[in-house]
């Protein structure tokens, strides 16, 4: 290898080492020149951004405070029918699904032993009466003692008490309707042995009906007997009306609600117990109220703020609120009829931000 070749090789190695040493600085300088290229401003930034929103013209309207709840339809009266004593069923007098009147005989169990016992006791009545009569006559003549008369009288009273007891036992062999109603499907047949624990059928009174529902505790003092309600069921074409007749004596501590019961006449008996209902109660009604959507209000440092549309910009305004319903809030101070209220995108709005109205109600 010649001397000139050695020098060339050495120079190349030195240049390569120097390039490696200065490579990071060169890279940063090159990237810096690229960053200097102007970029378009990020989307959504800047005071001059135009936000598309919906708005509403503030105007007077009727504002109604309503309680919305759900409940169930329950019968006015309902009972599982069963005998008071045990025995074999000898007769069933009712037709399933029919109306029965209070006191109607529905079924009977074997009472022949009791009937025989009753006849035996009743046969002793004439003799017992005659003894009492004779002893009273003799007592009036001082022919017998008072003790002898009282003994005969006691035997007569005991006989009559035994007869009443047998009659009571016979009554327990009869199943009678305790109230007017519709009798359901029977679960026994004639000839079956029954006991007090055997359910013969269910008797239900469905005219009137009761509506059970609950309300938030804040309305506890406002709902009283006589308060009108309306309710709706699936498939019903119109709302039905009932009246509150009883309110629970305390608030449920688990749900913080108050149980309420209303009554509905159900004269035609077209509604059956057990159905689910939606209940609505109108509380307060203000005919000329400035009401705005609740989503337009921004709570801020203990104040209620809204944004108005003025000259293409969003302007914040403090308001004083009144009655609140499920979707709207009454405004007592801060707004005037005709103001254009921004109702969507309110959390993105800032003072003076440019806005464009997409929809105006």
Burial 19-39 (b: 16+ CB within 10 A, else e): eeeeeeeeeeeeeeeeeeeee
Q: Rounded to an integer, what distance in angstroms lies between the CA atom of residue 202 and that of residue 135?
A: 54
Q: What's the whole-model pTM score?
A: 0.67
The ranges of the chain with pLDDT < 50 are 30-46
Residue 125: predicted pLDDT: 96
Residue 34: predicted pLDDT: 42
Residue 11: predicted pLDDT: 64
User: For residue range 135-151, what is the model confidence (pLDDT) as tens digits?
Assistant: 999 988 888 899 999 99
Tell me the backbone φ, ψ of residue 180, rounded to 5 degrees.
Answer: -65, 140
Residue 20: predicted pLDDT: 59
Q: Let me know how long the chain is.
A: 361
Q: Rounded to an integer, what distance in angstroms lies between the CA atom of residue 150 and that of residue 136?
A: 9
Tell me if residue 283 falls in helix, strand or coil.
strand
For the chain, list the domains and their CATH numbers.
51-64+287-360 (2.40.420.20), 68-75+204-284 (2.40.30.170), 83-194 (no CATH)
Q: Where does residue 11 fall: left (phi above 0), alpha (psi -120 to 50 degrees), or beta otherwise?
A: alpha
User: For residue range 38-56, what is the model confidence (pLDDT) as tens digits?
Assistant: 433 434 444 567 899 999 9
């Amino acid at each position: 290898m010649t001397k000139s070749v050695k020098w060339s090789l050495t120079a190349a190695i030195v240049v390569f080492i120097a390039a490696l040493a200065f490579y990071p600085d060169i890279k940063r300088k090159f990237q810096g020149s690229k960053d200097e290229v102007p970029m378009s401003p990020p989307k959504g930034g800047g005071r001059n951004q135009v936000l598309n929103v919906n708005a509403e013209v503030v105007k007077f309207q009727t504002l109604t405070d309503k309680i919305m709840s759900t409940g169930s339809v329950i019968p006015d009266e309902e009972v599982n029918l069963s005998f008071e004593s045990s025995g074999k069923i000898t007769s069933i007098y009712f037709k399933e699904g029919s109306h029965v009147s209070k006191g109607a005989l529905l079924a009977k169990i074997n009472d022949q032993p009791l009937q025989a016992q009753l006849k035996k006791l009743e046969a002793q009545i004439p003799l017992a009466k005659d003894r009492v009569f004779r002893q009273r006559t003799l007592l009036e003549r001082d022919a017998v003692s008072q003790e002898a008369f009282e003994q005969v009288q006691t035997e007569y009273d005991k006989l009559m008490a035994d007869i009443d007891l047998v009659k009571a036992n016979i009554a327990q062999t009869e199943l009678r309707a305790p109230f007017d109603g519709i009798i359901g499907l029977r679960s026994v047949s004639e000839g079956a042995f029954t006991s007090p624990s055997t359910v013969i059928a269910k008797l239900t009174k469905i005219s009137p009906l009761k509506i059970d529902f609950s309300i938030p505790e804040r309305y506890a003092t406002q709902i009283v007997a006589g308060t009108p309600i309306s309710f709706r069921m699936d498939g019903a074409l119109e709302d039905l009306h009932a009246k509150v007749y009883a309110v629970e004596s305390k608030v449920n501590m688990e749900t913080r609600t108050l149980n309420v019961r209303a009554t509905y006449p159900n004269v035609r008996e077209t509604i059956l117990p057990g159905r689910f209902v939606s209940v609505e109660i109108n509380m307060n009604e203000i005919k000329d109220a400035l009401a705005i959507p609740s989503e337009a209000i921004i709570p801020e440092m203990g104040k209620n703020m809204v944004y108005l549309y003025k000259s293409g910009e969003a302007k914040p305004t403090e308001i004083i609120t009144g009655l609140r319903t499920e979707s709207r809030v009454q405004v007592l101070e801060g707004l005037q009829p005709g103001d254009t209220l921004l109702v969507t995108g309110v959390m993105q709005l800032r003072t003076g931000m440019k806005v464009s109205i997409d929809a105006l109600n």
